[in-house]
Structure 1
Amino acid sequence: MDTQPATGQHVPERPSPQKRGTSSNMLMEREITDPVALLDAHGKLNPEAVGYSRTPLHDTSGIGAGTRA
């Protein structure tokens, strides 16, 4: 259903979302359930820290440590 905002501009209807699991390029993210360091020993992103968590579980203590070029 198209709606008309108070400004009189036409707002098109949003496309309906695809059903879960039907997209061939759907991104699956890993849920992090245990504490994990955000950075590895070299200051690079720890691949184990990539994902989402329902509560803060990332240790960010290595950020900002070290020299900058």
Structure 2
Amino acid sequence: MSEAVAGALPGACIEDSHRSTRVTWQRPGPQHGHDGSHRVDSVRVTIGASGERTSVEVSGRPKQIVAMLAAFAAAPAG
């Protein structure tokens, strides 16, 4: 699973443990403010060891989050 997701989501951070796999994918958004900081669009998915439980946390601009979720859903299952 981890390898398939890593290949489909360039730059994703994957953490495997005996109880779950956590995939965090962040993409910088446009620059805002005078300090040059960026907003970050982020999707974090935690998949239970059996593959029967999944939780998703998202943060960012709706249009970009929808595209990121679609890319995650299209990633081949392990």
TM-score range (shorter-chain normalised) is: under 0.3
* RCO comparison, higher one (Cα < 8 Å, 6+): 2
Name whichever structure is richer in strand by fraction.
Answer: 2
**Structure with larger Rg:** 1
For normalisation by structure 1, the TM-score amounts to 0.25
Name whichever structure is richer in helix by fraction.
Answer: 2
